[in-house]
Amino acid sequence: MAVQQRLQKIIAAAGITSRRKAEDLIRQGRVTLNGHPASKLGTSADPAKDKIRVDGVLLRPEKLEYHLVNKPQGVLSSVSDPKGRPVVTDLIRSSRRLYPAGRLDFQSEGLMVLTNDGGLTRKIISSGQIEKQYRVKVRGQPRQEMLQRLRQGGRIGGERFSSCRITLLKKGSNCWYQVALFHGRNRQIRRMFDHIGHPVMRLRRVSIGPILLGDLSPGASRKMTAKEVRLLKTRVERTQRKEEGSRGFVPS
């Protein structure tokens, strides 16, 4: 059965350029489909059967890979660093160009997805409906009214923070919490607890949607199973439709 996709999506998936720049290539007449110019953005093709060329070079779609990584503290969520610090892609052995689908700050640890599936990466990053869960150790014992303020969301330093779920896991001189976010801002959890005077001592992401960290050791990685990839794609597609529906978006 033929699987038809838009040309710009096929070109981006092959790792040549972004989808937006692929659209420019099509408009400029630099793309051919089965020997004929393809200058319309609505043109579709089957990447497994059709011959697509960009500037005369035959397109060979890159095989997609999906990996899970347990990022340790002191590792950047990036593919390179001018200061020479370790980056998360160093933890995976692959001949493909893999990119992190989202970020964890330098001192945080836990689950990350790395892939060369650019479409999935963009959807994970941009979606505000994919829940991510974290185990968080904070200094001291925040009062319930403080936690309730954080749960409700609000502004911190002029930036709007969305609501979240916070559940006590272990009470002590320094408490552990489970924090669930849908659309987290940069360093949101750290900034939230700093705001109420109980800074984060340790932060570990344990799930991204239906994908769980499980018993993956710090610094270790593994390929995602076919079932995990399917579950994640299904969740992403479902949340995208929900978001488009809430905005009154009607597909063309």
> Active-site positions?
105
| DSSP secondary structure letter of residue 158 | T
CA distance 77 to 236: 21
- Residue at 100: amino acid letter: P
CA distance 123 to 109: 22
Sign (positive/negative) of CA torsion 69, 72, 77, 81? negative
Burial of 45 (0-12, 13-18, 19+ CB in 10 A): buried
DSSP for 92-133, please give it.
---SS--EESS---TT-EEEEEEES-HHHHHHHHH-SS--EE
Burial of 113 (0-12, 13-18, 19+ CB in 10 A): buried
10-43 burial, b for 16+ CB within 10 Å, e for fewer? bbbbbebbebeebbebbeeebbbbeeeebeeeeb
3-state secondary structure of 190: helix
Sign (positive/negative) of CA torsion 56, 60, 66, 72? negative
- Residue at 249: amino acid letter: F
